[in-house]
Amino acid sequence: MRFSKNFISMVILLLFTMFVAVGCSGKQGASEPTTKQSGGSKKIVIGAALPDFDDKWLSYLQDGMKEYAKTQKDVEVIYVDAMNDASKQLSQVENFIQQKVDAIVLIPVDTVSAPEMIDKANQANIPIVVVNRIFDGVDKATAYVGSESIKSGIMQMEEVAKILGGKGNIAIMNGQMGHEAQIKRTEGNKEVIKKYPNMKVVLEGTAEWDRAKGMSLMENWLNSGKNIDAVVANNDEMAIGAIMALEDAGKLDDVVVAGIDATPDALEYVKSGKLKVTVFQNARGQGQGGLETAIKAAKGEKVEKFNWIPYELVTKDNVEEYIKKWQ
Amino acid sequence: MNSQVSIVNKQEKSKSAVSSKERVSRILHKYGMLMILIALIILMSFLSPTFFTTGNLLNIVRQMSVVGIVAIGVTIVIITTGIDLSSGSVIALVSVVAASFAHPDTYPFFVPILIGLGLGLLTGVINGTIISKAKIAPFIVTLGMMTAARGAALLFSDGRPIGNLSDSFKFIGQGAVFGIPVPIIIFAFVGVVSYILLNKTKFGKYVYAIGGNEQAAIIAGVNVDKYKIFVYGYAGLLSGLAGIILTSRISSGQPTAGVMYELDAIAAAVIGGTSLAGGIGTIGGTIVGALIIGVMNNGLDLLNVSPYWQQILKGVIITVAVFIDSRKNRKS
């Protein structure tokens, strides 16, 4: 009994220390806005609600916003970090509304809670621009800026078709079934394949975005006895898994492998010629486009509802340029 | 007692005529799952001409060795009426930590291995200590570890994969000795060691005793707390080992690795005849269970069954296999 009491107090102490440590290491998220429209100056204040400052890809998006903000006169952007907590993000958006910012840029932590934030901004008559993460009901926001998932699948598959000369057996490696990116990317792949009568899908399976599972799936496919000319994967990690299995079997030279995302690891594989194709989602472009649209909306100018930032194709020819982006 | 006596009587009475029937049912009882595995293999061989080849069969065992090793640890935990949900997350944590010590020209290859094994053991000992000393349900404690270890893996790696591993470290997952892939050799070794532990040692006897009736074991003077910590520690150690093999195999430490592996491992144990009520389970059975899952995954991929149908079929086959097994147990 005495032991268990000690034990419980120890646990509580441990938890307490952890919370303090976490609290201290936390960033100064919601910095108070400095003076706003104090005098007659017409400074535009934009509130940018980001899900996670630690995410590398999103940090490039934020860089895009910062670079664009520098080019604008009389614009102040307040960045807040929701630390991937949807309820925290909601209160941050509420704070923006209370502060009466001129417009809000929102990258939702999750797309379930996002419509509520849009409603609140609409009620307060503050323009809200959603960036990067699309969902049903996004049309209630002032505007959406992002890339269209299906386009990445189309771009990826078109390059593969070009390499194969418009004919061949395709194996499609899906991400987690039912994810928006899985559905759209595969849909894009198949749209292209349909255009070529000599190209067909001979195998289709899921490796749940995972490298180890991509490797296993590829090993099984190699044992299926089916002739495969290209493996088209919904993301780079699965594509790398497929490459490793093909290398093991000594068949990498016969098969074209393509991924999406242009992760740092994948770019190394592109550089060495093992991964033939990947697709880059333009983070800076989305950040810049998001802020640009928000400023326009704050000034009362008319904005397009949907603003698509194009994907970029990465092959061995231009890979160096993208490797630099991650450094 | 009575039933045992009556079985003996029956056997004596009908030594000549009925005994062959008895023998069949006893063989069925003991090797039922093995027969289901063989039946599956025969079925797949008919459906796919490339299924029954040395290359593909080795491939299946190699693919299952990571989950199989985890399942062996989980089996022993389940025999004590426990459960371990943390395996998949521990794999991820070990994966990123071991990978960060496995870069070329830094440490010799055994350093990341020892660190990985130690880390796995530590998580298991923490599980076991909280379960036995604080008397919190294993489901809750290991669920907590599952969440915390995943978080720690993401924190440690900043959410990104850790690549650039030395060739000597990669040998564990990618190498082969006399044509047999190293993961299979490790899997077999773990199987043998665990079999001996469970069947030839005091440890094994106590594990079954705790699972059969914990109160009775306590009264009989078994240090239940100590053995529970051993059991969870061993499961953690094996998760660590699985994490090292996985990392070496994919040449990268991944914070998102091992998702749902704990459920595959539990499924392998249960298909292999381990009772979630405790006290019953064997290493051989679990290995057969793991191979059944492996044959299904592989066969369905070979036949290019749609990913949607694969999930449904796997669910049905697992349930049916265990149903057949349980009916057989009841009859005999």
CATH assignment at residue B283: 1.10.3470
Instruction: Give the residue from B34, B87, B66 showing the smallest Cα distance to B263.
Output: B87
Beta strands (DSSP E) in A240-311 are 256-258, 278-280, 306-308
Both A119 and A190 in a single domain? no
User: What CA–CA distance (Å, rounded) separates B189 from A238?
Assistant: 30
- Set of chain A residues whose Cβ sits within 8 Å of the Cβ of B257: 210-212
- Set of chain A residues whose Cβ sits within 8 Å of the Cβ of B55: 223
Residue B292 lies in a domain: yes
Residue B35 lies in a domain: no
Residue B44 lies in a domain: no
- Set of chain B residues whose Cβ sits within 8 Å of the Cβ of A205: 301, 304, 307, 310
DSSP assignment of A184-222 equals HHHHHHHHHHHH-TTEEEEEEEE-TT-HHHHHHHHHHHH
Asked if residue B267 lies in contact with residue B289, where contact means CB atoms within 8 angstroms, the answer is yes
Closest CB from A220, A223, A244 relative to B251: A244
User: What CA–CA distance (Å, rounded) separates B205 from A170?
Assistant: 54
Asked if residue A254 lies in contact with residue A302, where contact means CB atoms within 8 angstroms, the answer is no
Q: What pLDDT is stored for residue B311 in this prediction?
A: 85
Residue of A nearest to B162 (CA): A265
Residue A13 lies in a domain: no
Residue of B nearest to A22 (CA): B155
B80-83 own/partner pairs: CB under 8 Å, 24+ apart: B80/B207, B80/B210, B80/B211, B80/B227, B80/B228, B80/B231, B80/B278, B81/B210, B81/B211, B81/B214, B81/B277, B81/B278, B81/B279, B82/B131, B82/B138, B82/B228, B82/B231, B82/B232, B82/B278, B83/B138, B83/B139, B83/B142, B83/B266, B83/B276
Instruction: Give the pLDDT confidence of B200-217 residue by residue, as tens digits.
Output: 999 999 999 999 889 999
Q: Are strands A312-314 and A278-280 parallel, antiparallel or unpaired?
A: antiparallel
Residue B131 lies in a domain: yes
DSSP assignment of A36-73 equals -S-SS---EEEEEEES-TT-HHHHHHHHHHHHHHHTST
What is the total count of domains within chain B? 1
A319-322 own/partner pairs: CB under 8 Å, 24+ apart: A319/A267, A319/A270, A319/A271, A320/A271, A322/A262, A322/A267, A322/A280
Q: What pLDDT is stored for residue A21 in this prediction?
A: 54
Residue A185 lies in a domain: yes
Work out the number of other CB atoms within 10 angstroms of the CB of residue A10: 10
Q: What pLDDT is stored for residue A15 in this prediction?
A: 61
Residue A34 lies in a domain: no
Average pLDDT over residues A250-271: 94
Both A266 and A168 in a single domain? yes
In single-letter form, the type of residue at position A292 comes to E
Report yes or no: B297 at the A interface, CB cutoff 8 Å.
yes
Q: What pLDDT is stored for residue A35 in this prediction?
A: 42
Both A63 and A183 in a single domain? no
User: pLDDT tier at A36 (50, 70, 90 boundaries)?
Assistant: very low
Q: What is the DSSP-derived secondary structure letter of residue A143?
A: E
Q: Which of A211, A274, A327 to substitute to test the interface with B, most B CBs within 10 Å? A: A211
Most confident listed range (A81-95, A110-124, B12-26, B89-103): B89-103
Instruction: Give the residue from B265, B288, B285, B284 showing the smallest Cα distance to B273.
Output: B285
Residue B258 lies in a domain: yes
Both A266 and A298 in a single domain? no
Residue A17 lies in a domain: no
User: pLDDT tier at A83 (50, 70, 90 boundaries)?
Assistant: confident
Both A51 and A119 in a single domain? yes
pLDDT higher at B20 or A35:
B20
Q: A3–B49: do the CB atoms touch at under 8 Å?
A: no
Report yes or no: B179 at the A interface, CB cutoff 8 Å.
no
Angle, to 10 degrees, between the axis of helix B87-100 and the axis of helix B261-271?
Answer: 130
Q: Which of B171, B302, B309, B313 to substitute to test the interface with A, most A CBs within 10 Å? A: B302
Residue B52 lies in a domain: no
To the nearest whole Å, the CA of B158 is away from the closest chain A CA by: 8
- Set of chain A residues whose Cβ sits within 8 Å of the Cβ of B174: 248
User: pLDDT tier at A214 (50, 70, 90 boundaries)?
Assistant: very high
**What is the extent of the structural domain holding A70?**
44-147+283-309
Report yes or no: B307 at the A interface, CB cutoff 8 Å.
yes
Closest CB from A4, A54, A224 relative to B50: A224
Q: B59–A7: do the CB atoms touch at under 8 Å?
A: no
What is the separation, in whole angstroms, between the first and last Cα of chain A?
Answer: 56
Point out the least confidently predicted range of A164-178, A276-290, B302-316: B302-316
Residue B50 lies in a domain: no
Average pLDDT over residues A253-260: 96
In single-letter form, the type of residue at position B316 comes to V
Work out the number of other CB atoms within 10 angstroms of the CB of residue A117: 25
Q: B250–A8: do the CB atoms touch at under 8 Å?
A: no
- Set of chain A residues whose Cβ sits within 8 Å of the Cβ of B66: 212
Q: Sheet holding A128-131: strands in order across?
A: A75-81, A44-50, A103-106, A128-131, A143-146, A306-308
Q: B254–A212: do the CB atoms touch at under 8 Å?
A: yes
Both A171 and A240 in a single domain? yes
Asked if residue A121 lies in contact with residue A128, where contact means CB atoms within 8 angstroms, the answer is yes
Q: What pLDDT is stored for residue A141 in this prediction?
A: 93
CATH assignment at residue A66: 3.40.50.2300
Angle, to 10 degrees, between the axis of helix A211-222 and the axis of helix B54-79?
Answer: 140
Radius of gyration (Cα) for chain A, nearest Å?
Answer: 23
What is the total count of domains within chain A? 2
User: What CA–CA distance (Å, rounded) separates B251 from B166?
Assistant: 9
Of the candidates A280, A298, A318, which is a domain's last residue? Answer: A280
**What is the extent of the structural domain holding B177?**
60-324
Q: A56–B163: do the CB atoms touch at under 8 Å?
A: no
Asked if residue B108 lies in contact with residue B169, where contact means CB atoms within 8 angstroms, the answer is no
Closest CB from B160, B302, B303 relative to A56: B160
Both A250 and A194 in a single domain? yes
The yes-or-no verdict on residue A230 having pLDDT over 60 is yes
Burial class (CB in 10 A: 0-12, 13-18, 19+), B95: buried
Instruction: Give the pLDDT confidence of A195-212 residue by residue, as tens digits.
Output: 999 999 999 999 998 999
Q: What pLDDT is stored for residue A101 in this prediction?
A: 93
DSSP assignment of B92-136 equals HHHHHHHHHT-STTTS-THHHHHHHHHHHHHHHHHHHHHHHHS--
To the nearest whole Å, the CA of B30 is away from the closest chain A CA by: 31
Residue B277 lies in a domain: yes
Asked if residue B165 lies in contact with residue B102, where contact means CB atoms within 8 angstroms, the answer is yes
Locus of tokens 């289709």? A204
Q: B298–A220: do the CB atoms touch at under 8 Å?
A: yes
- Set of chain B residues whose Cβ sits within 8 Å of the Cβ of A217: 301
- Output the six-digit token pair for A58: 């999103």
To the nearest whole Å, the CA of B269 is away from the closest chain A CA by: 21
Q: What pLDDT is stored for residue A14 in this prediction?
A: 62
Q: B252–A219: do the CB atoms touch at under 8 Å?
A: no
Please report the ipTM that was assigned to this predicted complex. Answer: 0.78
Report yes or no: B58 at the A interface, CB cutoff 8 Å.
no
Both A247 and A300 in a single domain? no
Q: What pLDDT is stored for residue B331 in this prediction?
A: 47
Number of H helices, E strands in chain B: 14, 2
Point out the least confidently predicted range of A186-200, A210-224, A287-301, B153-167: B153-167
Q: B158–A177: do the CB atoms touch at under 8 Å?
A: no
Which phi and psi angles does B101 have, rounded to 5°?
Answer: -105, 5
pLDDT higher at A137 or B143:
B143
pLDDT higher at B324 or A79:
A79
Residue A217 lies in a domain: yes
Both A119 and A239 in a single domain? no
User: What CA–CA distance (Å, rounded) separates B253 from B14?
Assistant: 61
Average pLDDT over residues A257-286: 93
Closest CB from B158, B159, B250 relative to A212: B250
Asked if residue B56 lies in contact with residue B202, where contact means CB atoms within 8 angstroms, the answer is no
Q: B252–A265: do the CB atoms touch at under 8 Å?
A: yes
User: What CA–CA distance (Å, rounded) separates A232 from B331?
Assistant: 51
User: pLDDT tier at A26 (50, 70, 90 boundaries)?
Assistant: very low
User: pLDDT tier at A17 (50, 70, 90 boundaries)?
Assistant: low
Report yes or no: B167 at the A interface, CB cutoff 8 Å.
no
For chain B, which ranges sit under pLDDT 70? 1-19, 27-29, 325-332
- Set of chain A residues whose Cβ sits within 8 Å of the Cβ of B134: 4, 7-8, 11
Q: B49–A208: do the CB atoms touch at under 8 Å?
A: no
Greatest CA separation found in chain B?
Answer: 73
Beta pairing partners, A145 = A131, A307
Radius of gyration (Cα) for chain B, nearest Å?
Answer: 21
